[in-house]
Each structure stands twice: as structure tokens, then as C-alpha cells.
Amino acid sequence: MGQAGVEHRALKVGAVTGLSSVTAIVMQIITVPVCLNYWGKETYGIWLALFALFAMLQTTGTGYVNYTGNQINLLYHQDQAALQRTLASALAGVALLGGVQLAAVLATFGLGVLPDLLGISGKMAETNEANLALLSLAGSWVLGGFYFGVVHRLLIPAGMMYQAAWWSLGSQLSLFLVVMISALAHASILQTSLFYALVQFLFVASSAWYIRHKLPQFYPWWRGFNLAHGLRDLYRSSSQTASGLIQQGASNGLVVLVSTISGAAAVPVFTTVRTLSNLWTNITNVMTTPLLPDVVRFHATGERKKLVAVQEVHGVLVGTAVNLSILLAYPFIEPMYRYWTSGTVELNKVLLCALLASVSLMNLGAMMNTYLNGINHHRALLSTALARGGIGLIIGGLMMSYFGVGGLGIGVWLGELTALLFLVHFFSAINRSEGFMARIGSMAPSLVSVMSLHLFMGAEALEIGSTGWLLLISVSGICIGAYWGWHCLDESVNKRLLGLFGSRIGMKAGV
């Protein structure tokens, strides 16, 4: 597929993932007031902490799923017989890791630490049947969702990322409805967990049935099972598994940290602000995820120049979209937040500014991260995970004593900054032969955009300077960076992008 095909496919998949992102935003906005109103701050906090703990348990297998999925993506273009063996042998890794996950759940019960992790008393944990709730969530994942997650990765190299995006959207909607119905019905934590586990299992089973009929050449998926092959892949995925576990410290680990230190009722203070920052994380994902199959293919076929070109375009277009939209929306965030939470949760401005600034850094390295993850670059994955998870959790926890929950945001920002430095290092090392190091200055326009946003966020967090003037200066800086970056792109790339957008506008006008 030519470069134009890459752009058209990215737009097609981006349209669906964009719809998914918008839907996710709407769901996040609806979830908070409904759950706070019908469940109350404490019950909602217990559910958030319990689900965060479940997500951390999942991560012991997510790294293996990602590694195997990336292998499937690469082998699809190189050796489909090897792909079949990898897919079948994944049963070995799934069985072993599933046993570890269930053992970890039982150990949590036996040691009696679950109430402490959720930030509640032992009596409240017993009343909410927290043990059975966690076991039901983990059991559903281990008994079905785990292996089906590997099978689902077949869609990406088969050119069905568009369909995969629709399945992802359907999953989001169904699980969102589970939480909404449970809150509106005043369901207990256990009832909600059982309902969630059942719907999740049925949905992944349905997607597996769909893949069986769309890609029958790979069914039965366990054909060619080899225990040694599966265990070898499990061993090779260990660094990615470790990366995933560490990186959870930058997401669900922080939720558990808040509940442990400040109690379950404090969890919504952190999660609501993170939900706001995740709106822009979603924009980044929408505009970056569709590039995954093609950047992996460019790597497999040795087309390094195209990888560098994709990074440059991403930095200009996606970076400008995210940074500019953050600044333009910022003046409206505080009043909307009060309305959204009905004044029951106070907005922490230090946390908000730190998380928004970290999103800008994450956006700058998003394409490089997608590429390095897609080719299973173990050193890069482990280094960035240590930066995000380790620094975010340790520094964030220490900073809580000085800045409260806002200290977590500072830890996340420091972790994201360190991760970005690692991404630039590894990406440039791989592509040095194509002159990337000589062209590293092409990142300068994107850095101007990021620094402009940081100027405003830093002033807001410290409450210094005139907001109006600083906002104007920062917006101008982003616009200058965008103009500079556009003119630094190769002329043929500019013409292709303009032609692509023009054709899209023409198609809509003709409808």
C-alpha cells in the first residue's frame, strides 16, 4: 500500500476511533454525576478503587497479550505458519499467567489487605462483599477475556482495524451501560461486579465468534499448539509484562495510592481531574492508533525514511491540535467542573495543570511510542514504563505531603518528561542511518508548541501572572510552532495532505 493508502486508511480508522473517543468523553462526563448522585462519594470511590485493583491484576497478562499481538502483526507479513504456532501456543502463557492472577487474588484475601488497598474498614469491606466482587471480575478475565484478547489481535494485520475499532466502541458502550444501570438501581458492589464480569465475557466471546467467521484460515486457533513455543514467548514477553506492571503505577496504581493514603472518598478528587485530562489523551490516541499497522510494516520492510516522515507530520498536526485545544478550552474547565460534579468535588488546580502538561509531553512522543511498542522494543518499553510508573508513583507519593493530591500530578509530569527523553533516544538510535539525528532539529517547532503550553500551565499552577495575557502569548506560540513546522515538512508531504483534506471536504460537500 502506498503512502496515500496509509493516509486514507488512517482517516477511515480515525473516523471510527474518533467516534469512539467522543463516545468515551460523553460516557465519562455522564458517569461521574450519576454515580456520585445515586451511589454517593464513598461507594463510588470503593468501585473506582476496586476496579483499579482489578486493572492492575489484568496487567500481569496484558504485557503478554501485547507481546503476542505484536508478534502476530509482524509474522502476518513474514510467515503465517509461524503466526499460527504463536497464536495456538499462547494458550500456555494464558493458562500460567491466569493461575498467577487468581493466586494473587486469593493471597490478597488470605493476607487481609484488601480493605487497606480500598481505603475502607474491614467491616465495610465485608458489608460490600469486596472479596467476592474482586474474584468475579478476575475470574471473568482469566476464563475467557484473556485468550480472546490475543485472538482479537488478528484483526489488525488482516487489514480489519476498522472493524476492530467498532468492536472496541461496542465494548465501551456495553460496559458503560453496566455501570449506569447498576448505579441507577443502587446495586451493591458485588452485584455490579457480577454484572460487569458477565457482560464483559459475553462481549469478548461474541467478538471471537466474529473473528472465527471472518478469518477462518486461522481457526481452530489452537491448531499447532506447542508448549515450548508458548513458554518461550512468555519468557520473551517478561520485560513487556514488567513494563506494563510498572506503567500501571502511573494510572491505576495512583488510584490505589490515593485510596490507601487518603481513603476511598478522596478517590473521585483525583479521578475526575484525570478524566478531564484524558479527553486530550483520547484525541492523541484517535490520531495515532490508526498508524500502528503501517509503522510496523515500514519497520518490517526497512522503509526508515517513511517512519521519520510520519513522526514529523504527527508532531505538527497532532501536536498542534492537542496543545491548542487544551489552551482554548482551559478558561471553561473550572465552571464546567463545578456543574459536572454538582459542587461535591473540589477542583485541584495544581493537579489539573500538571496532568494537562503531561498530556502535551505524552502527545509529543505518541507516534514514537506506538512504533516502539509495535515492534516489541523491550529496552524502550521497560525504560519508559519505569519512567512513567516508577517516577509517577514514587515521586507523586512523596509530593502528596507537600501539595496534597496535586503532588501526584507533578509526579506524573516528571515521569512523562523522562519517558519522552527515552523515546527520542531509542527512536533516533534505530533510525540514525536515515539521518534522523541530523534532522533532530525538525522537532523544534513541536517543542515550541509544548513549551508555550507549559508556560501557561506553570503560571496557572503557581497562580502568577495575568491569565489573559499569558493565554494569548501561549496560543501565539503554538500557532508560530505550527506554521514553522508545516513549512519544514517535505513539499510533497504538504501537497499530499492538502489534497487529502481537499478531497474529503469535496466528498462531504457533494453529499
348-365 confidence digits (pLDDT tens): 888 899 999 999 999 998
Per-residue confidence (pLDDT) for residue 10, from 0 to 100: 52
Higher pLDDT, residue 190 or 120: 190
> What is the arithmetic mean of pLDDT over 471-493?
80
Q: Give the model's confidence band at 326: pLDDT under 50 very low, under 70 low, under 90 confident, else very high.
A: very high
Of the spans 128-137, 141-150, 177-186, which averages the highest pLDDT?
177-186
CA dist 152 and 171 (Å) reads 13
The pLDDT of residue 494 is above 70: no
CA dist 271 and 51 (Å) reads 12
Per-residue confidence (pLDDT) for residue 287, from 0 to 100: 74
Mean pLDDT of the chain: 77
| Single-letter code of the amino acid located at 339 | Y
CA distances to 309, 403, 447, 487 from 490, rounded to whole Å, are 8, 46, 19, 8
Per-residue confidence (pLDDT) for residue 361, from 0 to 100: 93
Write the pLDDT tens digit of every residue in 410-437: 888 998 999 999 988 888 887 764 444 4
Question: Who contacts 427 (Cβ-Cβ below 8 Å, separation ≥6)?
Answer: 311, 368, 371, 372, 436
> What is the arithmetic mean of pLDDT over 63-77?
76
Task: Indicate the domain borders of the chain.
Answer: 39-236, 269-511
This prediction has a pTM of: 0.62
Answer yes or no: are the C-beta atoms of 423 and 362 closer than 8 Å: no
Per-residue confidence (pLDDT) for residue 500, from 0 to 100: 40
The pLDDT of residue 471 is above 50: yes
The pLDDT of residue 2 is above 60: no
Answer yes or no: are the C-beta atoms of 193 and 179 closer than 8 Å: no
Answer yes or no: are the C-beta atoms of 234 and 96 closer than 8 Å: yes
Per-residue confidence (pLDDT) for residue 145, from 0 to 100: 63
Which stretch of 9-23, 75-89, 183-197, 351-365 has the lowest confidence by average pLDDT?
A: 9-23
- SS3 helix, strand, coil % of the chain, rounded to 5? 85, 0, 15
Which stretch of 168-177, 251-260, 455-464 has the lowest confidence by average pLDDT?
A: 251-260
Answer yes or no: are the C-beta atoms of 15 and 323 closer than 8 Å: no
